[in-house]
Amino acid sequence: MRAEVAERISILDRHQRSLDDMRQRLSDANQRLTRSGAVSSAVFLSMTTSGVITEIDADGSCLFGSSPDPLLGQRFLSCIIPDEREYWQRVLEATREGSGVQSGELSLQQADGSIIDVRFDAIHANDLTQGPFVRVALSEISEIKQIAKDLNSLYRSDVALQHVSTDGWLRGVIEQSLAGIYLIQDGRFAYANQGFADIFGYESASAIVGKLSVGEFVVPEDRDKVAENIRRRMAGEVPEMRYSFTGLRKGGERIEVEVHGRRMEFNGKPAVIGVIIDITERKRAEQQLRIAAAAFEAQEGILVTDTDENILRINEACQQITGYAAAEMVGETPGMLKSGRHDAAFYRSMWESILATGSWRGEIWNKRKNGEIYPEWLTITAVKNAEGVVTHYVATFLDISERKAAESRIEYLAFYDQLTRLPNRRLLLDRLQRAMAVSSRRGTEGALLVIDLDDFRGLNDTFGHDQGDTLLQLVAERLKACVREGDTVARLGGDEFVMMLEGLSSVPEEAAEQSKIIAETILETLNQPYLLANREHHSTSSIGVTLFSDQKNNIDELLKRADLAMYKAKQAGRNTLCFFDPDLQASVARRMSLEADMRAGLRKNQFFAVYQPQVNHEQQVFAVEALIRWNHPARGIVSPGEFIPVAESSGLILALGQWMLREACRQLVEWQRVPELAHLTVAVNVSARQFHHPDFVEQVLLALDETGADPKKLKLELTESLLLDDVEAVIGRMTALKAHGVSFSLDDFGTGYSSLAYLKKLPLDQLKIDQSFVREVVSAANDAAITHAIIGMAKSLGLSVIAEGVEEEAQRAYLAKQGCHAFQGYLFGRPVRAEELREVFATFFTD
C-alpha cells in the first residue's frame, strides 16, 4: 500500500512541476507577444540575390534582439542556425529562378545567442534603381509554436486538463495571449481564448464556445477544405497540420488566417487543439511584392537614369525593343536612341514639361541598334525622395510599330481601292474639292474624265471574275502611265475609272484641247491587246469629259456631267470620247422629271392596258398582245418609246412590268366570262431586268393565283437580250413556268445576238419576226432572205412563227407564202382598250 501511495504522490509531483514550468513559459511568451504588438506583424528585409542584406525595416530589432543596422551588408545566412542554412540557400536559388513566392519557417539566432522561430515569405523582385533583389517578410512564430506545444502537452491527460480548468492563474495567461487558441470537438468549439475572439471580431469567447460551428468562421468556398483537414486530424491520418484559409469576421469582413493544429484526446474523445494567427497584412505584402516584380518585367520597356541622364537600369523589354543588351546601355545616355527625326525644339519642350510637371508623355521616333527607326509611346517620370528632390528619371515606353502599321492599313483601306491600289471615291472627292478651290483661286481650268470599259461584263461572264480582276489591274497601270505628275487616277467601282486633270489652260477651248489629247492617248493605250491567262484579249473604252474652273457646281454635279458625257460616247458607238454640253444636261433634266411623274403615275393609277389582235391565216383572232399606256394628266398620252427607256434605266420597269402582268391576268379572267373572247391567249412583254429578278417565277405564279387566270392562256414574250446573261438560269425559269402551262415567244427575233446553240436549248413555243424585217419584206431582198430563214428555222425547231408590224396585204400574202400563218399589225387592228375589243371582233373578224 505504501508503495502505491508513493507512486501516486510522485505522479502528482511531476504534474505540479510540469504546470509550474508551463506557467513560466506561457508568462514569458505572453510578455513577448505583448511587446511585439501583434502576432501577425512582419519585418521586411531586402537583400541581393546572393543573400547580402541591403535594407531592414526600423522595427527589425524585435527579431534580431538589437538594432538591425550592423546587419546591413552582412549575409542573412549568418543569422540562421547552421542546420537550416543549406535549406535557405535552396530558397534563394528558387527565387532567382523566378519560381514565385517561397514560404517556410526558419530558426534565427539573436544577438544574445537565443533562438527564435520565424515564418518567411520571399520573392524575386526588381527595383528601378538597384536592380534585381530578394524581398523577404519575416514573422516571429516562436510563441505560437511554443503555446501549441505546451497546450498539447498540457492537454495530454485529463489530470492536466483538470489543473488548467482549476488553476485560474494559468487560464488567465492563456486568455490574455494575443494568439488565437482553440479546441474543436464534434465540429464545434469546446474552447477559444480572447485572442481567437479578437481575430474574428467577437467581444468575448463566450459568444463562440459551444454556440458556433467551425463553418461559420470560414468563407463558403473554403469550408470543404477546412472540414477535410479537421477530419484527417481527427482520424489520426496526420499528427500535425498547418494551412491557411480565408476566414469570416463577425461583420462579414474577409481575413486571411493561418492555422497550426494537432490531434489530442479530450474527455476520452478525439479533438483538435491549435493556434490561429491573422496573416492578412502578410498576404497583402506578398501581393505587393508580386506586383512589383511583375511590373518591372512587363511588356513595356523601362529605363532608369540618374539626374545627369546616365542610364542605371533597363529591363528585359527594353533590351528586346531597342536591340541593345543591358551592358551596352548602362552608363550611356538615352541620346544613343535618337532617330534624328526630332529637332532641338522638340526635346527642349519635352524637358520643360518634365521640369514643370514632373512628367512627359507622347509619341516619339527612336532608333534600334540595327539602325531601324521605329515609333514608340513614351512616358518620362521624375522620381523624388522624401524631401521632394529629384533623384532619378524613369522612362517607360511601348513599341507602337504594329499599331502605326495597322493605322496606316486602315487609312489605306479607307482611301484606296484594294484591287487596283488606286484612290477610291472618297479620296477622289477630297482631292476634287481641293482642285476646284485651287482652280477657282488661280483662274485655271481642270478636267474630269469618266472612263468606262466597253463590254467588260462579257469578259466576266465568259472567262470568270478572276480574269476580269486581272484586266482591271492592267487597265489601272496603263491609266497611271497616261497622266502627268499631280493628276489623279481613281477607281469608282466595277469597270469605271475617273481621271482628274489639274492646272490646265485658263482658256476653256485650250483646256478642252489639252484634255482631249490626254483622252485620245487613253483610248489608244487601252485599245492595245492584253495578255490574260496566255490568251490575247482586246478591250476598248468610252470616255466622258467635263471641265471645271470654279466652285459654282458641286462635286456630285461634276461627276454626273462626266457620266452623262460617257454614256453619250457609248451611244455614239463606243471606243470614243464625248464632252458634256448643256443640251445633254437639259435632256437629263427631262428624264428626271419624267421618272418622277412615272412614280406618281403608278401611285395614282394613270397607266392602263391596250390589246392588239393577233390573227391566224384565216384572219381569226386567236390572241392579243397586252401593251402598257400612260395617260399623263398634263402631257396627255405619253409614247411608250419615251417612258419605257426611262423606266428601264431607273428600275421602274420592275414595277411597271409587275403591274402589266397582273392587269393582263385580271383581264383574262374577265374574258373567260365572255363566250366570243374566252378562247383568247394574252401575250405580255417581259423585260430582261424583270425576268432576271430572283423572284420572277414566284411573281408570275402569284399573279395567276390571285387573279384565278388560266396559265395556259398566258404567253410571255422575251427579248433576245435575255440570252446575254446566264442562259442556264434563263432556261431554269422558263422550264419552271412551262410546268404550270405558261408559254413563251421570242420577240424581235433576228435583231439581237442569239446563239443558235442556245436557241435550241430554250423551251420556246414561238418565234416573232421583228417588224424591221417585215416593213420591206416585199421589196428588199435582204429582209426577204432573213424572213425566209427565220421561218425555216422555226419549222426545224418545231416552233410556231408570227410576224409583227404587218400593215399591208402584200406583206401578209408574202409571209403566208413563205409559211408564216400568224400576223399582228395595223392591217388587222390597232391596240385598243379591253372594252373596245368586242367591237373589233364584231366589225372585222369572226371566230
Residue 201 contacts residue 278 (beta carbons within 8 Å): no
Domain ranges of the chain: 43-148, 177-284, 298-404, 436-580, 608-845
Q: How far apart are the C-alpha atoms of 732 and 741, rounded to whole Å?
A: 15
Question: Against a cut of 0.75, is the pTM above it?
Answer: no
pLDDT of residue 1: 35
Residue 562 contacts residue 498 (beta carbons within 8 Å): yes
What 3-state DSSP class applies to 342? coil
Most confident of 638-652, 735-749, 758-772: 735-749
43-148 CATH fold: Beta-Lactamase (3.30.450)
Residue 68 contacts residue 60 (beta carbons within 8 Å): yes
Question: Among residues 634, 456, 424, 422, which one has the least CA distance to residue 538?
Answer: 456
pLDDT of residue 662: 97
What 3-state DSSP class applies to 72? coil
For the segment 501-523, the average pLDDT, to the nearest whole number, is 89
Per-residue pLDDT tens over the stretch 368-420: 999 999 999 999 999 888 778 898 999 999 999 888 888 777 877 788 998 99
What angle (nearest 5°) sits at the alpha carbon of residue 39, between those of residues 48 and 123? Answer: 25
Same fold, 177-284 and 298-404: yes
Per-residue pLDDT tens over the stretch 27-66: 454 444 444 433 445 788 888 888 988 888 756 666 776 7
Residue 244: strand pairing partners: 258
pLDDT of residue 41: 57
For the segment 100-115, the average pLDDT, to the nearest whole number, is 85
Phi, psi of 201, rounded to the nearest 5 degrees: 80, 20
Question: Among residues 376, 356, 354, 381, which one has the least CA distance to residue 365?
Answer: 376
Question: Among residues 495, 498, 499, which one has the least CA distance to residue 453?
Answer: 495
157 pLDDT higher than 50: no
What are the b/e assignments for 560-578, b being 16+ CB within 10 Å?
A: bbbbbbbbbbbeeeebbbb
Q: 436-580 has which CATH code?
A: 3.30.70.270
Q: How confident is the model at residue 156 (pLDDT cuts 50, 70, 90)?
A: very low
Q: How far apart are the C-alpha atoms of 30 and 22, rounded to whole Å?
A: 12
Strand intervals (E) in 8-147: 43-47, 53-56, 102-109, 115-127, 131-140
| Axis crossing angle, helix 653-671 with helix 834-844, rounded to the nearest 10 | 50
Residue 180 contacts residue 290 (beta carbons within 8 Å): no
Q: How many CB atoms lie within 10 A of CB 725?
A: 14
Q: How far apart are the C-alpha atoms of 621 and 844, rounded to whole Å?
A: 10
Q: How confident is the model at residue 4 (pLDDT cuts 50, 70, 90)?
A: very low
3-state secondary structure 720-734: HHHHHCCHHHHHHHH
pLDDT of residue 474: 95
Amino acid occupying residue 378? L
Superfamily for domain range 608-845: EAL domain (3.20.20.450)
pLDDT of residue 716: 97
pLDDT of residue 162: 43
What angle (nearest 5°) sits at the alpha carbon of residue 579, between those of residues 578 and 584? Answer: 100
Residue 533 contacts residue 554 (beta carbons within 8 Å): no
pLDDT of residue 10: 40
Residue 562 contacts residue 545 (beta carbons within 8 Å): yes
pLDDT of residue 121: 86
Higher per-residue confidence, 434 vs 293:
434
Strand intervals (E) in 705-817: 714-719, 743-749, 766-769, 800-804
Q: What is the DSSP letter of 780?
A: -
494 pLDDT higher than 80: yes
The CATH number, out of the four listed (3.20.20.70, 3.90.650.10, 1.10.3720.10, 3.30.450.20), of the domain defined by the range 177-284: 3.30.450.20
Q: How confident is the model at residue 151 (pLDDT cuts 50, 70, 90)?
A: low
846 pLDDT higher than 70: no
What angle (nearest 5°) sits at the alpha carbon of residue 292, between those of residues 286 and 298? Answer: 135
Q: How many CB atoms lie within 10 A of CB 743?
A: 20
Q: How far apart are the C-alpha atoms of 38 and 281, rounded to whole Å?
A: 11
pLDDT of residue 289: 62
Structure-block grid coordinates of residue 491 = 477607281
The H-or-E segment that residue 76 falls in is none
Structure-block grid coordinates of residue 503 = 492646272
What are the CA-CA distances from residue 534 to residues 469, 478, 530, 631 (Å)? Answer: 15, 19, 9, 57
164 pLDDT higher than 70: no
Owner of C-alpha cell 402569284:
702
Structure-block grid coordinates of residue 283 = 498576404
Spell out the CATH class of 298-404.
Answer: alpha beta
What 3-state DSSP class applies to 514? helix
Q: How confident is the model at residue 183 (pLDDT cuts 50, 70, 90)?
A: very high
What 3-state DSSP class applies to 198? helix
What 3-state DSSP class applies to 150? helix
pLDDT of residue 6: 34
Residues 6+ apart with CB under 8 A from 308: none
Q: How far apart are the C-alpha atoms of 586 and 582, rounded to whole Å?
A: 6
Per-residue pLDDT tens over the stretch 274-298: 899 998 887 877 766 665 555 555 6
What are the CA-CA distances from residue 734 to residues 702, 739, 743, 764 (Å)? Answer: 16, 9, 9, 8
- Least confident among 156-170, 669-683, 818-832: 156-170
Residues 6+ apart with CB under 8 A from 539: 453, 454, 455, 456, 459, 471, 475, 526, 527, 530
Per-residue pLDDT tens over the stretch 554-612: 888 899 999 999 998 988 888 889 998 766 556 656 877 898 999 999 999 999 999 99
What 3-state DSSP class applies to 380? strand
Q: How confident is the model at residue 7 (pLDDT cuts 50, 70, 90)?
A: very low
Decide: residue 269, CB within 10 A, 0-12 exposed, 13-18 middle, 19+ buried. Answer: exposed
Owner of C-alpha cell 460616247:
569
Residue 572 contacts residue 483 (beta carbons within 8 Å): no
pLDDT of residue 96: 85
For the segment 439-448, the average pLDDT, to the nearest whole number, is 89
Using a pLDDT cut of 70, give the percent of the chain over it: 84
pLDDT of residue 442: 87
pLDDT of residue 176: 55
For all residues of the chain together, what is the average pLDDT?
A: 84
For the segment 322-350, the average pLDDT, to the nearest whole number, is 94
Structure-block grid coordinates of residue 298 = 512587363
Amino acid occupying residue 799? L
Q: What is the DSSP letter of 752?
A: S
Q: How many CB atoms lie within 10 A of CB 434?
A: 11
